[in-house]
Every structure is written in C-alpha cells, then in structure tokens.
Structure 1
Amino acid sequence: MAQKLIIIGAGMATGRALEALIDANPDAYDVTLFNAEPRGNYNRIMLSPVLSGDKTYAEIVTHDADWYAQRGVACRFGEKIAAIDPAAKTVTSETGDVLSYDKLMFGTGSTPFIIPLPGHDLEGVIAYRDLEDTERMMGMGEGNKVVVIGGGLLGLEAAAGMAARGADVTVVHIMGHLMERQLDAAAGYLLREALIKKGITVLCGANSKEIVGEGGQVRALMLEDGTELPCDLLVMAVGIRPNVALAKSTGLAVGRGIHVDDQMVTSDPDILAVGECVEHQGAVFGLVAPLYDQAKVAAKTLLGEADAFVQKELSTKLKVTGCDLFSAGDFAEGEGREDIVFRDPARGVYRRLVIEGGALIGAVMYGDTADSNWFFGLIRDKTDITPMRDTLIFGPAFQGGAPLDPLAAVAALPRDAEICGCNGICKGTIVDAINGGANDLNAVRACTTASASCGSCTGLVEQVLASTLGDAFQAPVSTPMCKCTTMTHEDVRRMIKSQRLTSMPAVWQACNWLTPDGCHSCRPALNYYLLADWPLEYRDDPQSRFINERKHANIQKDGTFSVVPRMWGGITTPDELRAIADAAEKYNVPTVKVTGGQRIDLLGVKGEDLPAIWSDLNAAGMVSGHAYSKGLRTVKTCVGTDHCRFGTQDSTGLGIKLEKILWGSWTPHKLKLGVSGCPRNCAEATCKDIGVVCVDSGYQISIGGAAGMDVKETELLLQVATEQEAIDVIRAVTQLYRETGKYLDRMYKWMGKLGLDWITEQVSDPTIRAELIERFELSQSIYRKDPWADHAKTRAPSYKPVANLTLEAAE
C-alpha cells in the first residue's frame, strides 16, 4: 500500500521533486499538494517575460491540471496549512480538514521583504513575487508613474516590463551601482546607462524616507534629501526571506531557513524541505540550480535511496532588459589579486577577470557572455591559467594562438563543462542524449532539461547539437504559431495565400488545427492575416481582436478608458482644442495629457460615456487616433519651411498627407512615423518605424527604428527627389510590411528577418511598387473608417470580455 505524502507549496523545487519521485516510482506515494496560491507549478523565472508581454501566463505553466490528474496528485490550491502535529503526523488546513501523512515535505519558498517605511501598508505598494503582482504591474501603462525600490534583478525586470508598456518608471537603489552582488561598478554603470537609454530613470545612492499617501492610496515616495517621486504604484524589490513561520510553529529547527541535512531531511526524520525556505550548512538559496539539485536528492530520500546535496560553485548568467550579464566567483578587489579588463565601448562589451595565484577566481561580463561557461569552468576547476594568461581575456576561441570557429570551441569543451547552469547539465549529458536519438532542441530539452528553465543557454545547447551531429544537424525551425498547430506563422500565412483560404474555418480545416475554434493566441493573428491578404473576401471579426481594439480605446488599470482623438501631423485648431476641453469637462475626465506623439490624451473616461464622447468629438470634426491599434498611430512632424529658418521642405504638410493616406490601415504591429524638415531631426524621425528626413535635394526615407525596450536607429531605405515619390515609397513599404510581416512583429523585426536589401529591391522596382500601392489602396477603400463614428450612432457595446482575450498584446 502506498504511503501518504503531503507537500506544502507548489513551487519550482517541489515541482521538480514530484517529477523525479513519480518518474522513479509512480506508486510509492499517494500525494496531496497544498498551495497558498490558487494555482499549481509555474516557472517564476518567466514572470518577467509575462510582464513585458513576451509570454503569456499559459506559456510558463510547468504543471497544468491534466499533469496532476494523470499522476494522481490530489491538488488543494488556494488552501493554506494552518497547523502541523508532528507527533500525530497530521496537518490541519485552514478549512479545518485534518489529514494524516507518512512523509511531509516543506516547499514554502520565501516571502518578499517589505521595508517598514512609514506608509508601506498603503494601497498601491506591492512586492514582485507572484502572478497577482505581475498582473498588477501589467496594468501600468502610458500616463502612469511607477517607482521601483531596488536595483537588483527583480527590480530591474519589473521596471523594464512596465516601461515597455509605456509607464514612466523610476528605479531607486540605495547602493552606489546596480546589481552590486552580481556586478562590479563598471558593469553596473554600463547597465545603468542602458536603462536610461530605454527611458527608465535610475537613482543610485538614494535612500528612501517615507511613502506618501492620499486617501489610503500611494501618491509618492519621499527620499532622505526631500525629493518627492510621484507614483501610481510603488514596487518593492529589495530581497526575499525564507518563509519559515509554519516550520517554526511546528517545532522544527530553524535559523535563517529550515535546517536540513545532506538528504534534505529536517530535524524531524519524517519531514523534508526543499527550495528557498531551507538552510543547508549555513547557506540559503535563491537561484534555481541548487533548488533543482535539492529536489532530486529529496526524491531519492523519499524512495529510500542514497544521495546527498552538495553546494556547488555558482555562476549568474542573466538577461536584464535585453542586456546580457554574467558573473561568477569572487570579483572583489584584494591584495595579491590582479585584474584583466577588456572594454569595447562601440559594441557595449565589458569583461573583467580576477586572477589570484595563477588561477581565475572571478569574472564579470557585460554585453557579450558567449564564453561565460568556459570561464566558469576555469573558476570551478581552479585551472592553472598561466599558459594562456596573455590571451585569456579573449576567451576559448583564441587559445592556441589563432581564432577558432565557434563550433570548434564548443567541440573542444570537456564533457564535464556545464552548459545549463539552472539544471546543472554538463556537455557530456547532452552529448549522450544526442547520441541516444535526441536530434533537436526540444528532444534534448525533454531528455535532459537543458535550457528548460531560464533559456539563456539555448544557443549553447544548439551549438552542442551542431558540433555533435555535424551535417545531420538541422537548424531549429521557428516556434509554432500556438498550441493549436505545429505550423509557424510563416507556414500558416503561406497556406492562406497559396490555397486561397479566406475564412478561419477554412484555415483550421486546411491546416489540421488541433483546437476546433482556435485560441486567444491564434485568432487575432489569423484575423489579421485574412484581413490583409483577402480584403474583398474576408470581413473583420471584432471578437478576434484584443480588448482595446474591440472597445476602440485603451483600457486603464481602474477599468476606465483612454481616448485619443487624431490630430493630423500633430496640427490642431482652436475649435478642436475647445471641443477637447468641453468633452473633458462634460465627462469629468480626470487627466488630460499631451502624448509623445503630439496628440492629446483624455484619460479616465468611463466605459458608458465612450459613445457620447466619441459623438461630441466627431461633431467637432475629429476621428479616432487609433492609439490602441495594431495600425498607424501617429505621424510626428516639425514645423518645416512654414516657420523654421532651417527647414528644407514642408515637413508638416507631408506628415499630414501621409497620416491621411495611412490612417486606418491595419498592420502587424503599431506603426509610427516621423517627418523632420531638416537633418536637425526635431521630429525624431530616425527612431520611428518609418522616418523621413528632409534635405535640400529631397527626402531621405528610413525604416526600422524603435525607441522602446529595444532602441533602434532607422536604416536608409531610399532617397527620392519629390514629395509624391516619398509618399509612394512609404505606401509601398507599408503594404509590403502588411503582406509579409509576422503578426506582432514591429517593423525592425520584420526588416531583420527579410533584410533591408530585399525590401529596398521590392519598393525600388516601379512595377512592384505600383502593385503594392494598388493593393494598399484597395484595402483602404474597404476598411478605412472611423470606428468611433460607427459606434457613437448606437449603444456602446457592453463590456463582456471574451475568454482569454481581455488583455492587450505586448506593445
């Protein structure tokens, strides 16, 4: 008869322990799993991509309901354990149920540390720990001010995620440089500069004094020097502490964490503990790699098998807001130590190696971390680096006097070289799996768990595949469009075009969709592809759009909406301004803000007032600014030759013409334009999706700029002599983007996939250009309309979110 195992906490450590236990002997225990959160195991490392919009929660779930059900795990989610009686070997849940156990495992994790500042209990002061915190931060967007206390990894990821959604974010860090535990001052400085370029304000050496509130809600953070930082949300990301309250009340030995021995057994022989809640030989743990090691040992202990948890030298390889970072060992300054430093400011690369007694003892890398595993191996193995001292800083490819091919460098790594730090997977394990038939990334991941956690080693795993399989290696295919299909976005769109699929049911049938009616991921993409490819045959499906596009306004964190009327080229009139002012007063709009795109935003409009405010603005001659759309947002202009003594062309006039031509066109992602009247570039045209810089000889048209999470300068597409040529080129390149772009790819990503040369070739060809313009005008003739005017004539659509489609996609 199976023994009874109760697990407290459905986190990553207990989840891995369950996997190991059930894989080894599925009948050994009847398992009951309690979790304070109302859900099972998900990858907390990936909460940051969820916040930034790169992933959905569904994509980071490790164990779904089916997984637990198939393995007979009794799940009691959203239910805490109130008490444990180790003598009677029972637990009492908060509902009063008493359950007996043979073995008990703690996986209570950690709790975020909240600085006990005055005002820390105000509404709007949160930590960054779970999905609820993440969802709260996902509500922060344009018009919101956020303060993040803490310049460590979590704080910076929180700041970056909210900044990507348009929030005005300030990071407050008490130390002199960011991530001081992982980085030295030089690397911390580079990281700070990168964050500032992304629009995040960073205050180092700043001490918080008080959280200021108003009506029970946070209003600002006050610093020791009297500076007041206004905020709608304050996020504390200043560290975690092992969650030991329940263990302590049970009578277990507790220090900073729950004391465990090498077998992960607590002071009670029938109670184990794993994860961030434990203390082993004086150490507590926050990285996932040692937690997974603990889980494997705990599973063997439960099965009566011998194993021991051993603390290992750890490295930290991170990606913070798009910046690659690595640190390992001891990189503090000290007597008898020497530094080797490499700086390449143009590439944004920094390396610092610390050597003592002929051995590498510490390394810090910023910008280029490709060789991090090799350096970590030297630190871990205490390798004598004397013979390669002169070339050490350049990495493994330069040892032996000549640069090596990257695959040759990977092939030269020993079998015990660690490839996946999270899961402790070495090269030999991966090679054995490949030789056993795992011939692609997914198969290697399934066999070994390499690259299955944070994913930062994915490229290195692929290199091991390539070096092991040789010519038999096939480069990985793109990610499937969603869980409904094995086909990529590109495959599906080729099918839509080649087989003339003009409806969603036709796509589902022809492409063997696994889910009858699609899902929240594929329906918006299919709706766009069909809309762009078959404008005559297909009709837009509003229910396959995100909530903002269905409501024709941006939903705010409190359920109100943001309304942005269009101002052609940023130009307005006294009558329009009066209409906006009248609307703001009439509908009690709490905030009226000038946007970065030279428009006026009415923030805080109630859902029931949308039709009426649209009607009033329509009556004044104004239409939707589509500030919510995957389409043209704004065309930003400078005053050009009308007023500026430096202007070379009529930039304002061109901007207005372009906006009136492109207005209402749906595109794979949002589209922003800028037209500057001279190379002084006052309209910031060189960081837009499409930018025009006017010069004496005509118009320089550039594409592929960005000024959000990724800062990109545009690249020159064409220079033309006349205004009409400029308009034609921009219409053509917009249609080319519409026809060949992947849904939710900004123009710079599209350009990176297809290549600027090919795009230039297409729009330069007179015949192709004319065909692109013809198809663009056909689409505009059918779909360009003011949604406000349509909906203002009727009752506002009731706000009933469609399942899984209530959140706006990543901006």
Structure 2
Amino acid sequence: MTRTKLVVIGAGMASGRMLEHLTDAAPDAFDITLFNAEPRGNYNRIMLSPVLSGEKTYAEIVTHDEAWYAERGIACRFGERVEGIDRVNRIVRAPDGDVPYDKLVFGTGSDPFIIPLPGHDLDGVIAYRDLEDTERMMAMGTGNRVVVIGGGLLGLEAAAGMAARGADVTVVHLMGHLMERQLDPAAGYLLKTSLEAKGITIRLMANSKAILGEDGKVRALQLEDGEELPCDLLVMAVGIRPSVKLAQAAGLAVGRGIHVDDQLVTSDADILAVGECVEHDGAVFGLVAPLYDQARVAAATLLREDAAFVQRSLSTKLKVTGCDLFSAGDFAEGEGREDIVFRDPARGIYKRLVIEDDRLVGAVMYGDTADGNWFFGLIRDRTDISDMRDNLIFGPAFQGGAQADPLSAVAALPPDAEICGCNGICKGRIVEAIGGGATDLGAVRAVTKASASCGTCTGLVEQLLEVTLGDAYAAPEAAPICGCTDLGHEDVRRLIKAKELKSQPAVWQELGWTTPNGCHVCRPAVNFYLLADWPVEYRDDPQSRFVNERKHANIQKDGTFSVVPRMWGGITNARELRAIADAADKYGVPTVKVTGGQRIDLLGVRGEDLPAIWADLNSAGLVSGHAYSKGLRTVKTCVGTDHCRFGTQDSTGLGIRLEKALWGSWTPHKVKLGVSGCPRNCAEATCKDIGIVCVDSGYQIGVGGAAGMDLKEIERLCEVATEEEAMDVVVAFVQLYRENARYLDRIYKWIAKVGLDWARERVVDDRVERAALVARFELSQSIYRRDPWAEEARKAGRKYAPLADLTLEAAQ
C-alpha cells in the first residue's frame, strides 16, 4: 500500500492532537514529517504557568516525547524553521533538506503581539509564549523588579508565577479592571484584591508610553503621565496574532488567519490548517477546546471521513494561580435584563447571573466555580429557568428547595453537560467510559482525554466516578512518599506509631525500604514523624533536614544567606536595633529589610560569616527567627490596649506569650500566627495559619488561613473568655497538627482533610484531651527547644547567651 506523504509544520497542541487521531486510526497510512521552529516537540502550553511558579517541571508537561514520535515513525525536524512552500511541485523548503508532500498541514500557531513602543527591542523585553520565555522569567527571583504589560489571563499568570519566586512585580493594564473580556468589574475587583494580597502591584487605566534602557538593556517602563516604573525585565502579554507569513508567502488565502472551510481545508485542496493560525467563518481561536475540535476534524479529512468543524459556544474556566474564575455567555448590562448576584466577601466568593426573558444568558463566578458547567448548560440550551428562579444562584444541588448531598450537583447534570472544556468531553461520554471499564481517573483520562489538559475538571471527573460506581469506587491510593517505598505519608506515619518504630533504621528495616538509608525526599519526612511521635526516645537527625534548616539561614540565589533575628510579637528596642545595625556594618550586609512578619531581615550574609554574626546577635539577646524552618515563624501583633483607642485586649502581650511558648517547635510546615486587638484586624490575623481576633468578650480563635499561592480566610475554631484559655487552645491545636498532619501540609490543607469539627472536638470540647496535648507539647519543647545560633556560637567558642535567660522563664 502506498503511504501518503504528510508534512506537518508546527508541533503545537492542535497538530499534536491531530497526529494522535491519525496514528491511532491508521498507523501505517502516512509517512509523516514534523517540522517545529522550537528545538522540541509537543508540550502542554497551558501548563507553562505552573512551570513558572515552580508547581511543575517542564518534563511533567511534555505530551509527546521522543519515544512517542519514534513509535509512530514520525520524522522530527525540530529546531528547523521552514523557509517556503512550493505548491506547484508540492515541496516544503527547509534549511536541512527539502521534503515532498502529498498533504500538508499548517499548525504554525500564533505570534505574541509586541507593542511597538520606543525601546521594545531592548534586551530584557520579552513576550510570554514559550519555554524560553518561561525560563527567562524563572530567573527573576528576590530582588528583581518585573513589569508586566497586560492584565489578561496570560499576563496575570506571568505576574503570579514571578511573584511566587520572590520578584517585585507590577502589572500595567490599560482598562478599568482586569480580564475585562472574561469578567465583569466586580469579579475583576476581587481578582485584583487577591493578586495584591500576593504582593503584586496592579496599575489600572495606565497607558504605556516608552520603554527606557541603559547600555542596551531595559531599565524602566515610562507611562503616559511621565511616571517611570523601574524593571529588570519587562514582559508583554497583550495578545496574540495568527502566524500567517509562511502561508501568505505560499499564496494561500489569508485574512486575520489562514482561511479554512468546515473540513479545515485551505484555498489549496492539498493543504489543511489547524490551531491558532486558522480563521474559520471570520473567527480566530485562542482557547484549546476549539483547537482540539479542529484536530479531530482535520484528522478525519485526511482519512477521507465525513466531519465538519462547527464553532460552539464556549465557557471559560480559568485559574489565575490561586484564584478560581468562570465566565460564560454575555454578562453585559442591557434593557430587559436582570441580575442575580451572590456576594460572600468573607470567603471571597462572587457570583452573578444575567437573565433575559426567563433564560440565563450570562454567568460570572469568582472563588467558587463548581457549578459553572451546569450554568453553562443552561445558557447553551436556552433553558427556561422560571421555575428555578428563586434558587438558581445556589446551583443544581438546591433545586427543589432543599440542599442535597455533596455529589447531587454532579448527579443532576444532564448527559450532554460539558465536563472537560479543553477537550469537549461531556458527562455522557465519561459515564459511557466508566461503564466500559474505566474505573479510575487514569483510565477515564486515557479513554476520553477528560482532565488531561489543564486539569481544572479533575475534581468533577472524580465525582462522576464516585456517582457512577457508588460503593464500587475506590478512591485514589495515596502516592508513595518517594521511590524508596510504596507507602504513602499517612501509612508511614500510622505504622511508625503502630509498630513503635523509634529510629530511622527501624523504619527502613521494618517497613521494607528499598534503599538502606532512605533518600533526600523521605528522610526529612520520616525524621519529623519520629521526632513528633517519640520526642523522648528519638533524637533529631540534622542531616535529615533541608539545607536551610541545616544552615540555620535561608540560602539566596547568589549563594549568600538571609539572617532574621526573632522579635517577639514584633516588639524590639534600641539595644536590639543597635546590635542589628552594628552587625550589618561589621559584616557588610548589602540589604536590610523589614519583613511582613514585623522583623528585620539581613540579606546577603556570606556563609563563612554566619557563626560570627549569629554570635554577635546572640550576645545582644537576639535569637534565631527560624525564618528557614518548618516550624513557628512569626506571631504578628498590633498594639492592642497598650496604645490603640480601639483595642479590646492586650494583643501584643498575648502574641509575645504565644511566640515564646511555641518558638523552636518543629511542625509539618511553617506556621504563622497573628493577634489583632480588635475586629479592625491590623495584624491581618484572619489570613494566618492561626489567627486570634480580640473582642470585648474575649478572644476569637480561627485556623487554616493562607495568604500565599492560595488565599484563604481562617475558619472559626472557638471563642474563649480568658488569655489563659486562648494559650491552651492554641498550644493544643499546634500539637494536634504536629501529631497528625502529613509532612509539608500547611494547616489549611490538613484541616481540609480531617475536618474542622474533628479538630474542635479534641482541642475545644474535650478538655482532658486538650490538657494532654499541651502536656505532650511541653515535653517535646523541654527536650528540643534550643536556639541554633547559640549552639553554633558555643561550638565555635564564641560568646553566646544562655537559652533560659532569653525565653523559657518568660514563656511561663
């Protein structure tokens, strides 16, 4: 059989999906050559943002590796840019040799739009489009200043990723609110607030005038009003344009994109086009869902099967790092339209439904997007919502007037409800796959592609598995702690207690570790579990800690270190400040910064100077702030009744007592506290791991807040009348966390697993258990609490302050 010579230009997501369809359906029908200007094959560009923020690696987002192409006999010409197309002789011209074709597919994607501002060609001005751009941005850490032009999804993902790496990031946006194409002003405001909480500066209604440079490198963005925003890197994320130059030079019909018909055929019957380079019926495409539809149709066309590309209504479910967003339909205001709006500022939730003639025509959701697909189905199907009008905003679980079980919303979805927007997979298709034997997430993903792209629908797919299979559904097993064992964290922790394993060798031996001494992944976790469970019998192994904990300082990107003295409750005095200033001068510290936790950070300390600077600070009465540890970091306070006319309780005094009681305790992850003297919350207690808000009647204690990659308000644990009871509850809760949480789980993640009621029963309702927890915590502290700076100073023969004089007596 003669094989069709197929040449594909561009190894992007659309052409990659087309090649999957082709080679699965007819593995021997085509002789395929694949060109790509990038020096690599297909990877999931949607997931570049998690790579930038450090949540994933590039290897984890590769969709087609070398083995995949080899198995399908695809000749890869990566890193080679096609020079031209000879349509008469049907030849693709390329630097390393021409290739004849019978059929040709353009998958050239799009080019980032670069605003032609003066200075746009300076070194340090980049787009955010590919892996090279991402790697350039990944180098922007603490101390670097970055300006992002563009407040759309791509620009905000770039900003959030670089902020997560410690860069000082400013977003400049021309419009009045962020992501104006997807969000209404109210949702845009919530998004702006969340991003600002991550340390990102947002400048709205800001028009860029010029990019300023020095010695050929960018130094600032100048705005229309003359203001300059200094930057070491400037990222333009203002949109994309279909890449059509090659097609245009070949004489194909081109408008905004390459013109195609319903079969994805261009003006040349032997040439097809798919992806972001395509224009179909006047529309161009940037979301992945229609691109995958095009891939399916293009494959069918090449296989001479009947198929047609139909533009369909699209919803947009987005995740700007830590912020869930959904929009669908038309949410513009207009005559004859009404809004249903739900706001819950405390939880950061906003929902707006737009209704016209008893039909839902638009939906915008922020913070809670679980019902987005259901609302989208109502919009797409033009469902009459008059009978459900009163409860519509609360989603499918509340139709009929009563709240159903947590899975009822998924069960209520019709078979044609879209679950995976990226791949256009509906509920019925997934249920069919489950009925055909796909009984876990991996199997459903392999059969249907649902959750295989951006991953935001993974939870829905898992719920469908549970609804469809019922008791037969087996929840995913915990991932192994590392490659040394098949056991997950929970199993290891349970077996350490059950088998009374009190040393690392006992764990390796009794639990069947495949390596004799563990590895860098499992040793820190096992070390912590042993320390927390057996504080008397076990001795901490410093070599099983991360490098920062071994060095008692945070290593910086240039190899120097950050030294942070502890300031109890944010309180200091002239003697301590003088000692810090003297140390900064003596050791040539280049940067002295006030932290968000009310302390002073000495940045840029040389490694060889650490013992000496520790000794000098320690001799002045300062101890380690443990800014590097999986343990107590800070207790942030306001001045409370000491100075503030609104203060209801002594928040400063309570904060100092808590910090002196808890400091030096190792925990599964870092722990930050806040104590605010009144509900005005100047100490930002409501977004801490543990937060106390003082009121006239006593102390409101909350837990599980977060203000980093995720933004989450604390949940109320209890309210107590006295400071002593507040101390006991917090100490007991910390010990409960130490004894039960998975290593590297922050408190909010642990609480989500065990439930707040479970924790409340033990530290609030059961006073006997509370007292036992406090006693176990104090036992551990009596053994392990020590100032590492004093220990290192003592070893080095330098002067150090005795630990008891500094903290233990004051903590009583």
Provide the TM-score with structure 2 as the length reference.
Answer: 0.83
**What does residue 343 of structure 1 align with?**
342
Shift of 1:290: 0.8
Please give the secondary structure, in 1, of the residue aligned with 2:635. strand
Distance 1:430-1:697 versus aligned 2 partners, 3 A rule? closer
Q: Distance in 1 between matches of 2:484 and 2:212?
A: 48
CA offsets 1:536-575 (integer angstroms, 9 cap, x no match): 5465364763x64465444555665433233343344445
Distance 1:142 1:568, change over 3 A: farther
Residues 104-140 of structure 1: per-residue CA shift (max 9 Å, x gap) = 4433322322222233344443333334444554555
Moved more, 779-788 or 252-261: 779-788
Checking the alignment, whether the CA contact within 8 Å between 1:159 and 1:169 is kept in structure 2 is yes
C-alpha distance in structure 2 between counterparts of 1:643 and 1:375, whole Å:
51
Q: Name 2:713's counterpart in structure 1.
A: 712
User: What secondary structure is seen at the aligned counterpart in 2 of 1:460?
Assistant: helix
Deviations 1:436-479 (A, max 9, x none): 12233332222211222223333433443344334544555556
**Alpha-carbon separation, structure 1, partners of 2:267 and 2:484:** 48
Q: Structure 1 residues 287 and 611, CA, compared in 2 at 3 Å: closer, same or farther?
A: farther
**Deviations 1:173-199, CA, capped at 9 Å, x for gaps:** 212222221223344344444445555
* 1:393-435 deviation digits (Å, cap 9, x = unpaired): 6655566777766755644544333222211112221221121
What's the secondary structure of 1:297's corresponding residue?
helix
Instruction: Note the 1:18-417 alignment, pairs <5 A.
Output: 18-73=19-74, 75=76, 77=78, 79-86=79-86, 96=96, 103-138=103-138, 145-164=145-164, 167-196=167-196, 200-214=200-214, 216-333=216-333, 337-345=336-344, 348-355=349-356, 360-383=360-383, 395-396=395-396, 410-411=410-411, 413-417=413-417
Give the conservation status (yes or no) of the 8 Å contact 2:728–2:774: no
C-alpha separation in 2, matches of 1:658 and 1:599: 16
CA distance change for structure 1 residues 696 and 259 in 2, over 3 Å: closer, same or farther? closer
Q: Which residue of the partner structure matches residue 762 of structure 2? A: 762
Aligned residue type for 2:244: V
481-490 or 345-354: which moved more?
481-490
The answer on whether the counterparts of 2:612 and 2:793 sit within 8 Å (CA) in structure 1 is no
Relative to structure 2, which stretch is displaced further, 449-458 or 472-481? 472-481
Query: What is the CA–CA distance in structure 2 between the aligned matches of 1:8 and 1:518, rounded to whole Å?
Result: 47
State the partner residue of 1:14: 15
Relative distance call for 1:728 and 1:144 in structure 2 (3 A) is: farther
SS in 2 for 1:209: strand
Cα deviation for residue 740 of structure 1 reads 1.2
1:452 matched to 2:452:
yes
Distance 1:344 1:119, change over 3 A: same
Shift of 1:286: 0.7
> Equivalents in 2 of 1:251, 1:554: separation in Å?
59
Secondary structure of the residue aligned to 1:665 is: coil
Question: Could you say what the CA RMSD is over the residues aligned between the two structures, in angstroms?
Answer: 4.1
What is the rounded CA distance, in whole Å, between the counterparts of 1:490 and 1:44 in structure 2? 34
Distance 1:206 1:134 in 2: 25
Aligned to 2:744: 744
> What does 1:717-728 align with in structure 2 at a 5 Å threshold?
717=718, 719=720, 721=722, 723=724, 727=727
Counterpart CA distance in 2 for 1:401 and 1:672 is 41
Partners of 1:445 and 1:572 in 2: CA distance: 56
* Cα distance change, pair 92–720 in 1 and its aligned pair in 2 (3 A): farther
**Paired AA for residue 350 in structure 2:** V
Cα distance change, pair 759–17 in 1 and its aligned pair in 2 (3 A): same
Partner Cα distance (1:391, 1:729) in 2: 39
Q: 1:577 aligned to 2:555?
A: no
- Residue identity matched to 1:495: L
Per-residue CA deviation, residues 224-263 of structure 1 (Å, 9 max, x unaligned), is 2334434444332211122334444555443322333333
What's the secondary structure of 1:22's corresponding residue? Answer: helix
User: Partner residue of 1:492?
Assistant: 492
1:319 counterpart SS class: strand
1:676/1:76 Cα in 2 relative to 1: closer, same or farther (>3 Å)? Answer: same
Contact 2:15–2:295, Cα closer than 8 Å, also in 1: yes
Report SS of the residue matched to 1:45. Answer: helix
* Equivalent residue, structure 2, for 1:422: 422
Measured in 2, the distance between the counterparts of 1:691 and 1:447 equals 46
Note closer, same or farther for the CA distance 1:264–1:487 as it changes in structure 2 (3 Å cut): farther
Report the residue type matching 1:424 in the other structure: G
1:81 partner SS: coil
Give the counterpart letter for 2:745 in structure 1.
D
Distance 1:695 1:190 in 2: 28
Q: Deviations over 1:501-548 (max 9, x none)?
A: 567787677667799998876565445435544555465364763x64
Partners of 1:646 and 1:378 in 2: CA distance: 49
2-structure distance, mates of 1:145, 1:223: 16
Task: Please give the secondary structure, in 2, of the residue aligned with 1:602.
Answer: strand
Query: SS at 1:276's partner residue?
Result: helix
- 1:62 maps to a residue whose letter is T
What is the rounded CA distance, in whole Å, between the counterparts of 2:220 and 2:197 in structure 1? 24
Measured after TM superposition, the shift of residue 786 of structure 1 is 1.8
Write the distance in 2 (CA, Å) between the matches of 1:204 and 1:225: 13
Structure 2 residues not aligned, in runs of 5+: 797-812
Q: 1:382 to 1:553 in 2, by over 3 A?
A: same
Relative to 1, partners in 2 of residues 1:332 and 1:605: Cα closer, same or farther, differing over 3 Å? same
Q: Is the 8 A contact 1:276 1:291 kept in 2?
A: yes
- Kindly provide the CA deviation profile for residues 253-293 of structure 1, in whole angstroms up to 9, marking residues without a partner as x: 43322333333344455544322222233322111111111
The within-5 A match list for 1:463-482 is 463-474=463-474, 481=481
2:804 paired residue number: none
Relative to structure 2, which stretch is displaced further, 396-405 or 242-251? 396-405
Contact 2:564 2:625 in 1 (8 A): yes
One-letter code aligned to 2:25: A
Larger relative contact order (CA 8 Å, sep ≥ 6): 1
Cα distance, 1:629–1:138 mapped onto 2, change above 3 Å: farther
- Which structure 1 segments of 5+ residues have no match? 795-811
Worse-matched range after superposition: 536-545 or 747-756: 536-545
Following the alignment from structure 2 to structure 1, what is the Cα–Cα distance between the partners of residues 601 and 679?
Answer: 29
Matched residue type, 2:634 = T
Shift of 1:490: 2.0
Determine if the alignment matches structure 1 residue 636 to structure 2 residue 636: yes
Q: Secondary structure at the match of 1:261?
A: coil
1:501-520 correspondence runs (5 A): none
Give distance in 1, aligned partners of 2:303 and 2:493.
51
Would the aligned equivalents of 1:276 and 1:286 in 2 still touch at CA under 8 Å?
yes
Task: Give secondary structure in 1 for the equivalent of 2:299.
Answer: helix
Do 2:520 and 2:544's aligned partners in 1 also have CA atoms closer than 8 Å?
A: no
> How many Å separate the matches in 2 of 1:569 and 1:468?
52
CA gap of 1:735–1:65, structure 2 versus 1, over 3 A, is farther
In the alignment of these two chains, the number of paired residues is 788
Identify which range, 123-132 or 446-455, moves more after superposition. 123-132
Per-residue CA deviation, residues 191-227 of structure 1 (Å, 9 max, x unaligned), is: 4444455554433322122334455554443322334
Q: 1:690 to 1:97 in 2, by over 3 A?
A: same
CA deviation profile, 1:324-369 (whole Å, cap 9, x unmatched): 433333344556x53343334556332222436x755444344444
Q: Is the 8 A contact 2:317 2:325 kept in 1?
A: yes
CA distance in 2, matches of 1:166, 1:468: 44
